[in-house]
A and B are shown apart, each in its own frame.
Chain A
């Protein structure tokens, strides 16, 4: 059974971490991080099968790749809460000599990170590669990945999408953060993605949708369904409709907070809105 209240509490703590991390260094991407918080919490604290500790290969466990590396605050906070490293390290985010680089990297040997990401569009290929590697090893575990919707403007994704269906990479669940926003404005204005569902389906992927990607129950339900559909000959895509900046009212419904840090007053306002107070770094 899913422990929904526990997951919601963790999500609130993660959101508080995000605004504080970005505030502390006055740099980073709070909008997408807040939008994906519920999904990443659901993934790491419910959906994924994880081993104790961390090894780079992830043999014998599910693995996750963050392709849209700019939402590193949520990734780092979730990894810390999941026990990969101490939560106190979150305070070093984007600061000199930190393992928590602006965009995630393996270069600093931070447990939990298996690939560098930040230059967009590369993560799906890596996830597909790891998924075929797991098949080669007869490892029954799954590969999960997360991508921005704007990131799908990078052509490499479509190379990977084509490869995965042609080769029946069916141990892969790729999720698109479908928030409709990118740095320069709404995705529909910058470069429209059209109908992503029919596009993925045309590439012979199984597509699942989450209408409210900030609703924990709905996310868990779709993740359960996605897992039940693996090993059936098709790669799986989840279109997760999130709200950028979710949980902080003045960051929602705009792309303005895609890559902007709150000031002291704005930080306090955000923390006041995020009700859970336990477990801050």
Chain B
């Protein structure tokens, strides 16, 4: 198991804020729109550096998406920001018609995704957003794993022509990827090569997968871990070549087990290469109030849950042999 360490913990949303600040110099066409959540999205530096390119929309997310489509038509590259719930579910039809179907170069950036938003509870914790966004034709769906990757992804999507959903979170989590990485949309990142099981993880569950890999190593299980930061388009080649080697897969995500990364992987396997799969995901449920750690524990999204899923999938693999 390759050793991963970290010296600090940061929230992924601050990576978004840092990426946006850098884009003020890098790309004069980038504009920011926010629905009354400047602090939550860490837009402050962008506003400080390019106030004329920032639009405070107020608590009016539908208008924000429409305005972004209009700005994109003029040739701007709009980045909209609010919580994941209000970025997707609340404005699904606006994104569908005015952005995706219209082919507009809008970047829908969503903070506070998933359960780990914490104490606010289920009204604010969307667990269906990856599914909603990946069902839209032409939509790219990205879910980043730490501060550095979120910053790199934010900068990278400005150079990509087309609608993008960029998902990140609220809690502080280990920063373990390179500071000066380049972000390649649609290209999986091999975290650790192994031969017994494939763990495909996205978002901050990648860190849980690394912890799980260390636990498994002590038990003599050699896990291959893949960071899928881009859920759509899915790096099918990377997943298939790994599963062909290991013969089984565990998917891990902070999302409803229906419609997320796990389902994308399952769809790939059922059409290309049959292999046992287990999901680490929220079991078709709403969330609730609690600290992020409590919620990760209660809804089964920790390293230990990944370990348990690995055991289960490996026993199914041996049964099928």
Interfacial residues, chain A to chain B (CB-CB below 8 A): 56-59, 63, 65, 105-107, 114-119, 121-134, 136-137, 155-156, 159-160, 162-163, 166-167
Contact = CB atoms under 8 A, between A and B. Distances in A.
Contacts of A118: 97
Given A56-B73, A136-B52, A124 B66 contact: yes
A61 B52 CA distance: 22
A220 to B, nearest CB: 27
B102 A125 contact: no
Contacts of B71: 129-130, 132-133
Interface string B55-82: 1011010111111111111111010000
Contacts of A114: 73
B249 to A, nearest CB: 35
A152 to B, nearest CB: 14
B57 A163 contact: yes
A106 B102 contact: yes
SS class of chain B's interface: helix, strand, loop or mixed?
helix
B60 A115 contact: no
B103 A106 contact: yes
Given A105-B101, A116-B101, A119-B97, A126 B60 contact: no
Given A107-B102, A122-B94, A59 B66 contact: no
Contact of B73 (A105, A121, A126, A155): A126
Nearest to B67: A129
Given A136-B31, A136-B53, A163-B60, A125 B98 contact: yes
Interface in B98-144: 98, 101-104
Nearest to A115: B102
B48 interface: no
Nearest to B93: A119
Interface of B: 31, 52-53, 55, 57-58, 60, 62-76, 78, 93-94, 96-98, 101-104
B63 to A, nearest CB: 4
B79 to A, nearest CB: 13
Nearest to A118: B97
Contact of B97 (A122, A162, A166): A122
Q: Top 5 closest A-B pairs, CB basis?
A: A125-B66, A129-B70, A133-B74, A129-B67, A159-B60
A128 B101 contact: no
B58 A115 contact: no
Given A115-B102, A116-B101, A159-B60, A122 B74 contact: no
B69 to A, nearest CB: 5
Nearest to A109: B103
A107 B102 CA distance: 6
11 contacts: A57-B74, A59-B74, A105-B102, A106-B102, A118-B97, A122-B97, A126-B67, A129-B78, A131-B70, A132-B71, A156-B94
B66 A126 contact: yes
Nearest to A163: B63
B54 to A, nearest CB: 11
Contact of A115 (B52, B76, B98): B98
B74 A156 contact: no
A107 B70 CA distance: 16
Contacts of A59: 74-75
A107 B93 contact: no
Given A133-B71, A136-B31, A117 B97 contact: yes
A107 B136 CA distance: 14
Given A136-B53, A163-B57, A122 B75 contact: no
A186 to B, nearest CB: 26
Contacts of A166: 58
B73 A162 contact: no
Given A117-B97, A122-B94, A57 B66 contact: no
A118 B63 CA distance: 16
A114 B69 CA distance: 10
B147 to A, nearest CB: 30
Contacts of A134: 74
A50 B70 CA distance: 18
Nearest to B56: A167
Contacts of B66: 122-126, 128-129, 156, 160
A157 to B, nearest CB: 9
B73 A58 contact: yes
A279 B97 CA distance: 33
Nearest to A137: B74
B63 A159 contact: yes
